[in-house]
Copies of this chain bind each other. A is one copy, B any other.
């Protein structure tokens, strides 16, 4: 497996050097692996810090900026960052109004963010935590107790970031973040495995002619393997799984935010074609779509495939979704 890298050991540091060179509005500490929005502590806002293993770009560092994250802590590829990174980030962004940690539900991330919260609180920083666990495919999988955190992370970070930008309190930002997570469900599909720089070859074996339904963003096993299906059937399966679970979220007839997300190697041409089928299934099931995002946002290196995330959005969530955002990977309205 050929890769556009210097060496497997330097992949994350090299990418951070590249972010620093490309985005003068970010303060990138390549050594300590913390990406901070320039001037994050000014303006008296609640801080929003996320992080996780690398390999899911643009998540999370691509979402640092006006109206979204205050800082991100990238770990090694598919490996949790360490508490020291998170504490540094919390210190760099806390204006005195506290910091919200956005944590995807993987065992390592949860442990490390919990430890970081304790350390930050010893420093006098108030910390709240939101756990993102939107993946309906499986519970208790590789890396996870309970549901995995995937595409809903983008919704949580965007909406909570807008609330923080508007001056909401730590409790208010945490509340809306938890509400968005509780109202979101995802389902992922892999057409191919991904290759990590360290391994240099596919991390799992997916035979020609088969797809993995319910795959995680590290290639964790899903619900089942089947013979390859056309896009329309994949959309029916994925949207069906999401809606079945989303039926538990009130109000059952509210509009949704829809994210049709590429895993990395699937061309945008295919993602839009897949979205046509997602939109068709949602229309057939009577689900109104308020806003749509199609593209590569929560990826899994060079995996081919996609995921669907839906969030039942009340009026406040819609308003916060529409609020201006200015990051390297998501920007509008400003």
Chain A positions within 8 Å of B, measured between CB atoms, are: 2-7, 10-12, 14-23, 54-55, 57-58, 62, 77, 191-192, 208-209, 211, 228, 230-232, 234, 260, 264-277, 279, 289, 292-294, 296, 299, 301-302, 304-306, 326, 328, 331-334
Q: Which of A57, A208, A260, A267 has the most CB of B within 10 A?
A: A267
Q: A18 is contacted by which of B14, B293, B294 (Cβ under 8 Å)?
A: B294
Q: In whole angstroms, how far apart are the Cα atoms of A296 and B234 in the complex?
A: 25
Which residues on the B side are within 8 Å of A2 (C-beta)?
Answer: 191-192, 208-209, 211, 228, 304
| Nearest B residue to A324, CB-CB | B334
The answer to whether B269 touches A301, judged by C-beta atoms less than 8 angstroms apart, is yes
Q: How far is the CB of A64 from the nearest CB of chain B, in Å?
A: 13
Which residues on the B side are within 8 Å of A270 (C-beta)?
Answer: 3-5, 11, 15
The answer to whether B230 touches A272, judged by C-beta atoms less than 8 angstroms apart, is no
- Could you say how many copies of this chain the assembly holds? 2
Which residues on the B side are within 8 Å of A230 (C-beta)?
Answer: 5-7
DSSP majority for the A interface? mixed
Known: A62-B268, A294-B22. A6 touches B211 (CB 8 A): no
Q: How far is the CB of A2 from the nearest CB of chain B, in Å?
A: 4
Known: A22-B294, A231-B14, A292-B21. A5 touches B273 (CB 8 A): yes
Known: A2-B228, A231-B5, A305-B4. A269 touches B15 (CB 8 A): yes
| Nearest B residue to A289, CB-CB | B21
Q: How far is the CB of A200 from the nearest CB of chain B, in Å?
A: 11
Which residues on the B side are within 8 Å of A77 (C-beta)?
Answer: 269
The answer to whether A234 touches B18, judged by C-beta atoms less than 8 angstroms apart, is no
Q: How far is the CB of A136 from the nearest CB of chain B, in Å?
A: 20
The answer to whether A18 touches B274, judged by C-beta atoms less than 8 angstroms apart, is yes
Given contacts A4-B191, A22-B292, A57-B267, 17 further A-B contacts (CB under 8 A): A2-B208, A2-B211, A3-B270, A4-B234, A4-B306, A6-B273, A11-B269, A14-B231, A15-B273, A19-B272, A21-B279, A21-B289, A22-B260, A22-B279, A55-B269, A57-B272, A62-B268
Which residues on the B side are within 8 Å of A272 (C-beta)?
Answer: 14-16, 18-19, 22, 57
Q: In whole angstroms, how far apart are the Cα atoms of A167 and B271 in the complex?
A: 35
Which residues on the B side are within 8 Å of A12 (C-beta)?
Answer: 269
Q: How far is the CB of A100 from the nearest CB of chain B, in Å?
A: 25
Q: Which of A18, A58, A271 has the most CB of B within 10 A?
A: A18
Which residues on the B side are within 8 Å of A4 (C-beta)?
Answer: 191, 231, 234, 266, 270-271, 273-274, 304-306
Q: Which of A16, A22, A208, A331 has the most CB of B within 10 A?
A: A22
Ranked 6 nearest A-B pairs via Cβ:
A14-B273, A18-B272, A21-B279, A17-B276, A18-B276, A57-B268
Q: In whole angstroms, how far apart are the Cα atoms of A271 and B276 in the complex?
A: 29
The answer to whether A14 touches B276, judged by C-beta atoms less than 8 angstroms apart, is yes
Which residues on the B side are within 8 Å of A273 (C-beta)?
Answer: 4-6, 10-11, 14-15, 17-18
Which residues on the B side are within 8 Å of A267 (C-beta)?
Answer: 55, 57, 264, 299, 301-302
